Chains A and B, each alone.
Chain A
Amino acid sequence: MIELRVQPADEKHICISGIAPVLAVVLRELPEILEQRDSPNAQARLFPNPTSADDKTNQEWQQMIRPELRHLFVSAGETVARDLANLAGNESSPETYEITFPVEHLKAWMSAINQARLILAETSQIDEENMNRVDLDPHNPKDLAAFRIHLLGYLLHLLVELEIGDESTNSV
């Protein structure tokens, strides 16, 4: 059985090992997924209004804050895309992949993976019911999106665990 692990490689690097081929594929797709951040549905989710009813504040926010957030999100994605060039097969375990990246990139990794999960959910219109299904059909595009969200979620959870300690993986 393949065990996905996230652990310090040394004081300055983090290693993700035991990456199953299917997760390696999804990770390599991350830059492509993140490019969909400007689709209408994804934009609404990634750049929400700060108030429920104050149109003036919302408009100012979208003008002032949105470009800054977009830059932050793009920057995180670019950092991870560069790191992903190092994703390679594990010599001692040919069926798995591993990747090592600098500790200071951890926040970018969590941001990029979370962005990708949200973008996949919005572009495939995934709701709580879809997320809770266990009988996923690989031929159903919506189920396939949910599967990719879950896969990335497990890795994100391990990254969060490394950052703050153990916790459960249920969605909020």
Chain B
Amino acid sequence: MSQTGTIQIDETKTKEELATPWNVVVHNDPINLMSYVTMVFMRVFGYPRTKAERHMLEVHNKGRSLVWSGGREQAEHYVHQLHGYQLLATMEKSGA
């Protein structure tokens, strides 16, 4: 019984961890071109140009933009791709 209870707690914790979204954040840098960053957002996330430009301008004006939220594995994949395009990108747990 107690063992079952322990398992349930662990399962609950795991589910909570899995349910907590991760944010992919792109940070400002003075070298990357606005057009290049827009293109990267279109290619990596499949965003339409207007949405890609909106995020690019947020990076430019506010220093960072939350470009995607979701599971950790997918967030790692996106950060990997963004680094492949030489953008400054990090992932962070939502609400952290």
Binding site for B on A (CB under 8 A): 45-52, 65, 69, 72, 110-111, 114-115, 117-118, 121, 126-128, 131, 149, 153, 156-157, 160-161, 163-165, 167-172
Contacts and interface: CB of A to CB of B under 8 A. Distances in A.
A50 B34 CA distance: 22
B35 A47 contact: no
A-B pairs with the 6 shortest C-beta distances? A167-B35, A128-B30, A160-B35, A121-B31, A50-B79, A172-B60
B88 interface: yes
B89 to A, nearest CB: 8
Contacts of B37: 172
B42 interface: yes
| B contact patch SS | helix
A167 B32 contact: no
Contacts, number: 92
Nearest to A50: B79
17 contacts: A48-B83, A48-B88, A50-B79, A50-B80, A51-B91, A69-B84, A110-B36, A115-B86, A117-B31, A128-B30, A157-B35, A157-B36, A160-B33, A160-B36, A164-B38, A171-B31, A172-B29
Interface string B43-56: 00000010001001
B33 A171 contact: yes
B90 A49 contact: yes
Contact of A168 (B32, B34, B59, B85): B34
Given A49-B90, A157-B33, 16 more contacts: A48-B88, A110-B36, A114-B36, A114-B85, A118-B86, A131-B30, A131-B31, A153-B33, A160-B36, A167-B38, A169-B33, A169-B35, A172-B28, A172-B30, A172-B33, A172-B37
Contacts of B35: 157, 160-161, 164, 167-169
Contacts of B31: 117-118, 121, 126, 131, 149, 171
A171 B30 contact: yes
Contacts of B88: 48
B92 A172 contact: no
Contacts of A164: 35, 38-39, 42, 49
Interface in B63-92: 76, 79-80, 83-86, 88-92
B34 A170 contact: yes
B83 to A, nearest CB: 6
A59 to B, nearest CB: 14
A127 B89 CA distance: 19
A69 B85 CA distance: 9
